[in-house]
Amino acid sequence: DKAIRNFGMALGPFQMSDLAGNDIGYLIKQELRQKGTLYERESDLGDELVVKHKRAGMKVLKGWYNYDKRLANGRVPLPSTEVDDYVKSYRASRGLLSTSEKEVSANAVVERLIYPLINEGFKILEENIAYNPSDIDIIYLYGYGFPAWRGGPMHFADHGVGLPKLLKKLQEFNAKYPGSDYYTPSRLLKECVAMGIGVQEYYDKKMRQKAKSKL
């Protein structure tokens, strides 16, 4: 959460989950499991948090964090030793992040969260759902609280990350975490990298070509 807040988002994913209700996410997953449409790769970390520990989120003053009604009407996230112990136990039971491994860096957290989001933006353009990369940027800036100084996810891809690096990292994630469609690089992203241009330049050229064809 700290890593993504430092990136510029108002809330991290765990605090957001507490706000929305961890029990809601759990029930949605149960329904998707029954329908057989759940992602091949998904975490059950939050399941026991809800079922065994009864930590549904802000509404019950305990989720991934503790909350106190006296602090901003129960909206200030406070550390929870119960959750810390649970996560450590979960890691140990699955052999995750052993003491011989380095801690996950803040940059790695941002890459895992933001790069798939950008990749979906490419797929939205690919499927002609959005007309221009700037359309996606405006929606994310005004509708989803993407940090304005980063210019939106597509602008950030072009000017903050660089498309070759974005493609390389997505390919690494896709190989390491099979069964996660959101890590499968977009065809449009690959095309932009092959052409050596940014996604906005790609669409600017496309618009100029369309304008010429009408002359």
The domain segmentation of the chain, as residue ranges, is 2-94, 106-213
pLDDT reported for residue 179: 76
CA 155/CA 192 separation, integer angstroms: 14
- Match 């996230």 to its residue by tokens: 77
Topology match between the domains 2-94 and 106-213:
yes
Consecutive H or E run containing 7:
helix 2-7
pLDDT digits (tens, 9 = 90+) for 116-172: 999 999 999 999 999 999 999 999 999 999 999 999 999 999 999 999 999 999 999
The arithmetic mean of pLDDT across residues 93-117, rounded, is 83
Report the share of the chain in percent with pLDDT over 90: 76
CA 137/CA 121 separation, integer angstroms: 9
Q: Is the pLDDT of residue 214 over 70?
A: no
pLDDT digits (tens, 9 = 90+) for 60-82: 999 999 999 999 999 999 999 99
Cβ atoms of 155 and 149 closer than 8 Å: no
In the chain, what is the straight-line distance between the N-terminal and C-terminal CA atoms, in Å? 52
CA 159/CA 153 separation, integer angstroms: 10
Which class is 106-213 in CATH? mainly alpha
The arithmetic mean of pLDDT across residues 195-210, rounded, is 89
pLDDT reported for residue 40: 63
pLDDT reported for residue 39: 67
Q: Can you state the angle between helices 199-213 and 133-143, rounded to 10 degrees? A: 130
Measured between alpha carbons, how far is residue 159 from residues 114, 126, 156 in Å?
A: 14, 20, 5
Is the pLDDT higher at 115 or at 97? 115
pLDDT reported for residue 35: 84
pLDDT reported for residue 79: 96
CA 32/CA 55 separation, integer angstroms: 21
What fold is seen in the domain 2-94?
Answer: N-(1-d-carboxylethyl)-l-norvaline Dehydrogenase; domain 2 (1.10.1040)
Q: Is the pLDDT of residue 103 over 90?
A: no
Q: Is the pLDDT of residue 102 over 90?
A: no
pLDDT digits (tens, 9 = 90+) for 6-26: 999 999 999 999 999 999 999
Measured between alpha carbons, how far is residue 19 from residues 26, 98, 194 in Å?
A: 14, 31, 42
